Amino acid sequence: MRRAILWPRVLFAMTLLVPSLIDAAEVTQKIRIGLPSVALTYTPFYVAQEKGFLKKAALEAEYIQMNTAIQPQALINGNINFFPSLATGISAAVAGLPLVVVLNFYTITPWMLVTSKEINKPQDVLGKKVAVSGIRTTGHQLMTAWFKKYEINEKEVGFIMTGGTSGSFAALASGQVAGAVLTPPYDDKAVTKGFKKFMLIGDLLDIPTSGLVATRAEVTNHRDRVQKTIAALFEAIAWIRANRQETGKMIADKFKITPAEADGAYETLLSMFNKDGRLPAKVARGYLDLLRQERPLPADLDPQKFLDFSMLPGGK
């Protein structure tokens, strides 16, 4: 009889306890990230996923391949939560879309013009085609600067828009173009196929590279989700720095390159990382100056309007 009396009390106590246990368990949030292609600069995303850092942050991430040109609108429409191209994000924000850069990975990007061996001087590209990811992408802007430097009429060179670095490599390898703007490890991979690194062009302009772009609504309404994503990517970068051999193997497997090529790509990657995840004001202002060549922009336009690093460690 006593047991019959005690049992309801036990059940009542459990009903009080269970909700607190449920609240203590962190709910997994789903995120979608748009990536235009497989590229070395996106390695932190690959590591964050494959090594479980996103899952550790209670995030279930889906990577969606989509052309860089459609990513800003996909972000606004809610089809994705983030994309990596900072140049694309800032350009779209300048045009009026409510986008903001919340993380920057790199200080430099080793964009390389890789050509067939018949190209021996800049003027040799006249009448030929060059592959870039898309119109107004970093590769396209760098090539435009390169044409100006060597006084080449851009109209006498044809562009093929490939949607991503891997597509540009494929266009070069198949003979569709005489040159392509590539980043590691595709430049080294092209060399093994008989092409040559004609010239480093990544240092011609101050152009932001890869990191994380979000909508202002995402930052305001889902700040914890943005912070968790940033934290997972920071953890991935720390892992890359500490695990040379395993990162090299991952690069070799993902890009189908030799261990030696992967080791070189790893060295390049390490040299590119910045220290704090921020985009220098000089680079942001330089990119706005570049955009002014395409469209009218106020002279006093503050690049800080499109940057929000308050969710970084020690951010403000």
pLDDT at 13: 42
- CA 299 vs CA 91, 136, 200, 280, 296: distances in Å: 16, 21, 31, 19, 9
pLDDT at 201: 95
CB burial of residue 36 (10 Å; 0-12, 13-18, 19+)? buried
pLDDT at 32: 98
Structure tokens at 255: 């890009």
CB burial of residue 140 (10 Å; 0-12, 13-18, 19+)? middle
pLDDT at 316: 59
Structure tokens at 165: 């670095």
Structure tokens at 201: 């062009």
Cα 63 to Cα 99: distance, rounded to the nearest angstrom: 19
**Nearest CA to 33 among 77, 70, 2, 79?**
79
pLDDT at 22: 39
Neighbours of 66 (CB within 10 A): 20
Cα 18 to Cα 279: distance, rounded to the nearest angstrom: 45
Cα 221 to Cα 239: distance, rounded to the nearest angstrom: 30
User: Residue 64: enclosing H or E segment and its boundaries?
Assistant: strand 59-65
Count the alpha carbons within 13 Å of 91 in the hemisphere toward its beta carbon: 25
**Strand 196-200 relative to strand 179-182, pairing:** unpaired
Percent with pLDDT over 70 in the chain: 91
**pLDDT tens digits, 168-218:** 999 999 999 999 999 989 998 999 899 999 999 998 988 898 999 999 999
Cα angle: 207, vertex 212, 213; to 5 degrees: 85
Q: What are the start-end ranges of the H helices in the chain?
A: 2-24, 43-50, 53-56, 71-77, 86-94, 138-149, 165-173, 186-192, 216-221, 223-242, 244-255, 259-272, 281-292
pTM assigned to the model: 0.80
Task: Identify the bridge partners of residue 307 per DSSP, sorted by sequence position.
Answer: 101
Cα 190 to Cα 196: distance, rounded to the nearest angstrom: 7
**pLDDT tens digits, 271-291:** 999 999 999 988 999 899 988
**Three-state DSSP class for residue 292:** helix
Cα 146 to Cα 133: distance, rounded to the nearest angstrom: 16
pLDDT at 24 over 60: no
**pLDDT tens digits, 137-163:** 889 989 999 999 999 999 999 999 998
